[in-house]
Amino acid sequence: MPKIIVLPHEELCPEGAVLEANEGDSVLDVALKNGIGIEHACEKSCACTTCHVIIREGFDSLEESDELEDDMLDKAWGLEPESRLGCQALVAQEDLVVEIPKYTLNLASEDH
């Protein structure tokens, strides 16, 4: 069973975490199921960038992003070559090491 290793994030996951995942689960769903409150303003419909994550290890095991996800990622704060939307990045057979960016762009939220 693959694992998602979440690197420490000051607010959402200060200690970091090792999460059990099933193949086909999204990174976002696994995080939410384990109490890591990654924002997801568009309710996982690939219409925003609030669930932007950076895959530090295991990136090549993921299916390639599609054009819609790439278009959304272009708007993400702190975009890196290994950036994905957590709602679209589906766990494969390899473990993943995931970093949650310090900031997110939530155009629907008044406090960002």
Q: What is the pLDDT of residues 39-71, one digit of tens each?
A: 999 999 999 999 999 999 999 999 999 999 999
According to CATH, what is the number of the domain 3-99? 3.10.20.30
Cβ 63 vs Cβ 26: under 8 Å: no
Cβ 54 vs Cβ 76: under 8 Å: no
**DSSP classification of residue 7:** P
Using pLDDT thresholds of 50, 70 and 90, give the confidence band for residue 33.
very high
Cβ 103 vs Cβ 97: under 8 Å: no
* 92 Cβ neighbours under 8 A, 6+ residues apart: 2, 23, 58, 61, 62, 63
